[in-house]
Amino acid sequence: MKNILKILLLTFLIPSCNDSRVEISSSNPVNWDKRTIGFELRDTLTRGTSYLSIYSQIYSQTEHRTHGLTATVSMRNMNKTDTIYINKAEYFDTKGHSIRTYFDKAIFIAPLETVEIVIDERDQDGGTGANFLFDWTIKPNSSEPFFEGIMISTSGQQGLSFTTQGKKIN
């Protein structure tokens, strides 16, 4: 009886890998509303903007064939004691057009914490030259946030992965 119950649970609770109704979702499992701060940031804080290149596709064999990648956008607080604030995370495609804004209200990242955005391999909206702009706020003399992109794809026994790092812009 226990084995039959296990089989029934597995049959109904685990989705089929062949389900063609799977939606492409580049929304993030992070609940941004729970990370939003409930106060105004002081004018005495230091503000900046960082650029991060992301590849949702790369060229394969020719300029006419592309290969999709899963991208993990890592937002890291390198401070041991200070919280940092990311005011906006906006995603752009190869032509520089805004695709989506993940949040545009200040969120907090606690000391030594990492918060991530995942872009599904099937989400090809960004193209071969996608990028993010992050507006951020920190206490004076704190370390700036560190932004990193990790791109990966696997097929059979082949795998491809690489990283990019954010750069502060004016």
User: Which tokens hold the place of 12?
Assistant: 């109904």
Alpha carbons within 13 angstroms on the beta-carbon side of residue 28 total 20
In 7-124, beta strands by DSSP E: 46-54, 57-60, 62-68, 70-76, 84-92, 98-103, 107-109, 114-119
pLDDT number for residue 21: 31
pLDDT band at 17 (very low <50, low <70, confident <90, very high): very low
What percentage of residues in the chain have a pLDDT greater than 90? 61
What percentage of residues in the chain have a pLDDT greater than 70? 83
pLDDT number for residue 90: 97
**Is residue 16's pLDDT more than 90?**
no
Mean pLDDT over 29-57 rounds to 88
Burial of 123 (0-12, 13-18, 19+ CB in 10 A): buried
- The closest of 130, 155, 131, 150 to 67, measured between CA atoms, is 155
Burial of 62 (0-12, 13-18, 19+ CB in 10 A): exposed
Q: How many residues does the chain have?
A: 170
**Is residue 136's pLDDT more than 50?**
yes
Domains by residue range for the chain, with CATH: 32-169 (2.60.290)
- The closest of 33, 153, 32, 133 to 89, measured between CA atoms, is 133
DSSP bridge pairs for 167:
51
Please indicate whether residue 46 or residue 16 has the higher confidence score (pLDDT).
46
In a 3-state reduction of DSSP, which class is residue 71?
strand
Q: Which pTM does this prediction carry?
A: 0.79
**Is residue 64's pLDDT more than 60?**
yes
- The closest of 130, 138, 129 to 168, measured between CA atoms, is 138
